[in-house]
Amino acid sequence: MHSLLHLALDGVFVVVIAILLALFVQHRPGGTGRLTRRQWLAWLAVGVILAGIFISTNSLYAQTV
């Protein structure tokens, strides 16, 4: 159960990071404020990749005793 909870939290983290990245790109200063569906999906894919990197490198800096 403990690992399922962590996997669920990681999944939520991935979705949130992907959506926030796409929203920030859409509303960036100097931008047009409009993204096509293809651009949205591309930025969501980039967000999923970045979140995957965040999650996979999270344990690299954990303190060991």
Contact (Cβ atoms closer than 8 angstroms) between residue 54 and residue 17: yes
- Assessment of whether the complete model's pTM goes beyond 0.85: no
What are the distances in angstroms from CA 3 to CA 6, 26, 28, 47?
Answer: 5, 35, 37, 23
Domain residue limits at 39: 2-61
Give the model's pLDDT for residue 22.
93
State the pLDDT at residue 1. 59
As a whole number, mean pLDDT of residues 18-42 equals 91
pLDDT of residue 57: 85
* Tally of domains within the chain: 1
pLDDT attached to residue 59 = 72
pLDDT at 56 over 90: no
